[in-house]
Structure 1
Amino acid sequence: MTETVKNIWRLDKDPTIKSILILLQHEVGPDNFMLLNESELNEKAVRIIYPSTQRDLSAYIYSYAQRIDHYGLDLEFPYLIEAAANDQSIRLDNLTAEEVIEKVIEHLQIKVPNSV
């Protein structure tokens, strides 16, 4: 299931994941990212995409197996053309919330609204 995030507090997610989503929403706006396959993930993880029409890149953010107030981040790339190839990702561990937001915006190429 793919959906834009309108009310983060209603998600069945751990508070650490809700916090990072609120920070991301504050930076890029509520309609500039979507959750992907939400029902398949546990409460301490979320996978996001941008824009809704581009599913080639995704970011998997998680708080399990990380230091307190830190996150893991998998920057996910499209499947390779070869039949035997697995998906490709870059795994980053123990990032601060600010580092996660910066890397997600860069990886997904999210257009950040102009700030005044």
Structure 2
Amino acid sequence: MRLKKNIVTTLGVMLRFFPVLISENKTFQEAAMLRGISYKHIRNWQHPLRIFEYSIVPLLMRTISLGEDLSMNGFMRGMDIEKRRTTLYSNSLTQFDLLILPILFTLLFIFLAG
């Protein structure tokens, strides 16, 4: 069964987004605990707007930034191109490479031994 490219792209971004979101949430919660704002303290539940302001709002703002970064990353990798992917250069060793390789290894050996 083949999935449409749009669905695969969306799933790829989602699978990369959630682990990053979890680590960002952990970072924000640690920073909030340093300020004395945590879900674990009963006294903080008396001020729900403060918990919301210091916990949820920064996470939402960072989420927007992360979503844009991941979308741009996918765009730069060419995930939205309809054509088949190609390469610009061949990835094989040429005769020049085979000629230069022993010279470089010799220089490396001299450098490391000396």
TM norm structure 2? 0.24
Higher helix content, 1 or 2: 2
Higher strand content, 1 or 2: 1
TM norm structure 1? 0.24
